[in-house]
Amino acid sequence: MTVRGSVDPVGVSVTTASVIASLALALRTSTAYGTVTSNGRSWAVGSCGGGYELSANGAVCSCTTGYDVRPCIGNANYGGINGATCTGVTQTMIVSFTF
């Protein structure tokens, strides 16, 4: 699984199959998962602003610098790729799963 976007087209990845499956399940079912460390990053899924967030920073619903995606938050804190995750720059964010 890779989290990338227009600000960082390479992004960050996790390659551990069990972690990928757990992150995908948590996103699909809107349930919390993590924090779990894999590929040198702390991954988590959790509730934030009425939706669910995928974090590669280990902190859910926190204004950090790094890789967070909050597609359903409904305000300017929609996340960010390789930068501010609250009121970040306009950007495209992509989460891709490869099997």
Chain segment 52-81, per-residue pLDDT in tens? 999 999 889 999 999 999 999 989 899 999
CA 60 centroid distance within chain: 9
Q: Alpha-carbon distance 13 to 49, whole Å?
A: 25
Chain segment 9-37, per-residue pLDDT in tens? 999 999 999 999 999 999 999 999 999 99
pTM for the model: 0.92
| pLDDT value, residue 98 | 85
Partners of 10 in the β-ladder: none
